[in-house]
Amino acid sequence: MPGGPPIREMMMTVRIETIASTVSDNYFYALADSHGRAALIDPVDVDAAVARIRELGWDLQWVINTHWHPDHVAGNAGVLKAFPEAQVVGPAGDRARIDGQFSSTPRGGVEVEMRGGETLRVGELELQVLDTPGHTEGHVSLLIDEHLFSGDVIFSGGAGHCRAGGDLGTHFATFHEVLGTLPDATLFYPGHDYTERNCEFILSIEPEHREAKAVLEQAKALKPRERFVSTLGVERSYNPFMRLADPGLRQALSSRYGEAIEAARAQSDDEDEAVFRCLRALRDRW
């Protein structure tokens, strides 16, 4: 189903558009097969979403939500009003919280549930549904070829917070068991771009980290509302949430944030998970 300018032709002739929201700091995505049968992923900005689908002449079949947070589902009803033949697809684990936001509107809640291990079809395209909980209880991501629509699970240089219905231990497991198994070449399409701020956070812990410095310069060179594009391989070189066993990172945390890492160790016997918990707690306060 769903998923920046310019349109790119890929292995299964999937066409992907990145759309920058004008009503929030979100990015959301449209994707279509070679016949223009399309889906939108997390289209918070109704006007931008509708205008782009109409400009492209695509046949919108699905509105897909990765999780329940309002900045990802608020556009559902407006998009369906413009494209009444489309339906909302949402994660079974977050369905109740999505539906609850549309109790006073005719449509906008989940009409088709999806679960990890299932496949969503958009015309000739097949998207693999991956369970990626942690940011929310029911968060899912969608994978087609080497393209991962990851919602708020991972960001360039960071990881999603767990302050609104999430769980840190579960989020760590998603990084370890799901993201950690995907190839380096996997491009991911996040719901926000916090690259500059995340790199500044990394450098507050590891001031001489070469890759983080390089990414920060690249991010600063982007035009306003131009998204930093990254792969999981790039993230493994500098994103601390993907370098949990890095001796340099662990030493930096111990020397600069000894109390924080000890507090995290009190919550988990797994050292990688303790580092993950420590990093997220520090980032929440930073």
> Does residue 86 lie in a domain region?
yes
> Does residue 190 lie in a domain region?
no
Total domain count, the chain:
1
> Does residue 271 lie in a domain region?
no
Provide the residue range defining the domain that includes 80: 1-152
Annotated binding-site ranges for Zn(2+): 67, 69, 71-72, 135, 152, 192
Give me the pLDDT at residue 266, please: 97
> Does residue 27 lie in a domain region?
yes
> Does residue 224 lie in a domain region?
no
Give me the pLDDT at residue 203, please: 98
> Does residue 177 lie in a domain region?
no
DSSP labels, the chain: ----PSPB--TT--EEEEEE-SSSS-EEEEEE-TT-EEEEES---HHHHHHHHHHHT-EEEEEE-SS--HHHHTTHHHHHHHSTT-EEEEEGGGHHHHHGGGTTSSS-S-SEEE-TT-EEEETTEEEEEEE--SSSTT-EEEEETTEEEEETSEETTEE---TTT--HHHHHHHHHHTGGGS-TT-EEEES---HHHHHHHHHHHSTT-HHHHHHHHHHHTSPTTPPPP-BHHHHHHH-GGG-TT-HHHHHHHHHH-HHHHHHHHTT-S-HHHHHHHHHHHHHHH-
Give me the pLDDT at residue 12, please: 63
CATH number, residue 22 = 3.60.15.10
Annotated binding-site ranges: 67, 69, 71-72, 135, 152, 192
Give me the pLDDT at residue 1, please: 36
Give me the pLDDT at residue 9, please: 39
Report pTM.
0.94
> Does residue 191 lie in a domain region?
no
Give me the pLDDT at residue 13, please: 84
> Does residue 76 lie in a domain region?
yes
Positions of the chain with pLDDT under 70: 1-12
pLDDT 10s digits, 6-33:
333 345 689 999 999 999 999 999 999 9
pLDDT 10s digits, 232-252:
999 999 999 999 999 999 999
